[in-house]
Chain A
Amino acid sequence: MGLLNGYLVLGVLLFGIGLLGFIIRRNLIMMLISVEIMLNAVNIKLVALSHFMQDLKGQVMTLFVMASAAGAVAIGLIILLMVYRNKGTVDVEKYDLLRED
């Protein structure tokens, strides 16, 4: 029972790092990687709770999160590639087509 708090705190800290990276970095690839880190933080929490509560539904949920994350990454990278064809950059500060001058 003892280490459950350690796993939960680790998940919160990792989620915070991912959120900070998503806010601070301006490179679209690094923003997608930050999303991956946040998903992994949630996965750690799910597997830890599944172990300490003796219920395997958390592991099944983690499996679903992994599969949908793979799909999301493929979609995100396709969108990135198509935007890069139009704008020639991955810096999100340069994506200002809807901005009012």
Chain B
Amino acid sequence: MSVVRILFFYFAFVILLSAFMGLRQRSPVKALLWILLLFVHIGGLYLLLNAEVLAFLQIIIYAGAILVLYLIMLLILDVREEERSMLYLKNWQSRIWAGLLVSFFFILGSLTFVNKHRGEHTLDKLKEVGPSKILGRLLFEDFTFPLIILAFLLLVPLLGIGLLFVKRRQDGSA
């Protein structure tokens, strides 16, 4: 059993455990702390997969930005522990149908999966050029147009934040 295999099973165990524990907490703050553990361990998993840039971006964006955004939202909102309410799918027939639908998609995905493709980014090339340089060249040479579209997409939350501060007048006009 190699070190990589042991590390993979450790990360997989902690990821599944913290996702499960996080989603069954009733207090949102405790849930967010479990989710923080989940995001950091996913970053570790990326390190195992030779994706160093993505590992650090995972920790910076998810654990640093998005989770803090959720915590600030909890500070603003004064959310108490939620009451235990009815389950979503009430009768067992619809539960079985929903489970069958999800497993149908998983089985369809695994049957149509073709494991023959081999790209040109081998491990030797990664070692020679460097992981961030090779990713940056791919991003700015082959994927320039999607990157520009993504940058415009990130303007939309800015408009939304502006919308927060628009006070509605009495006659309904903004």
Contact = CB atoms under 8 A, between A and B. Distances in A.
Report if A and B associate in a common complex: yes
Interface of A: 2-4, 6-8, 10, 12-14, 16-21, 23-27, 29-30, 32-34, 36-37, 40, 43-44, 47-48, 50-51, 53-57, 59-60, 62-64, 66-71, 73-75, 77-82, 84, 90-91, 93
Interface of B is mostly: helix
Given A24-B87, A44-B45, A63 B139 contact: yes
Contacts, number: 179
5 contacts: A12-B106, A17-B19, A17-B20, A55-B117, A67-B154
Contacts of B54: 47, 59, 62-63, 66
B51 interface: yes
A60 B139 contact: yes
A43 B42 contact: yes
A89 to B, nearest CB: 9
Nearest to B147: A64
Interface in B97-137: 98, 102, 106, 110, 115, 117-123, 134-135
Interface of B: 4-5, 8-9, 12, 15-16, 19-20, 22-23, 28, 31-32, 35, 38-39, 42, 45-46, 49-51, 53-54, 57-58, 61-62, 65-66, 69-70, 73-74, 76-77, 79, 82-83, 85-89, 98, 102, 106, 110, 115, 117-123, 134-135, 138-139, 142-143, 146, 150, 153-154, 156-157, 160-161, 163-164
Contacts of B51: 47, 50-51, 59, 62
A18 B24 CA distance: 11
B157 A75 contact: yes
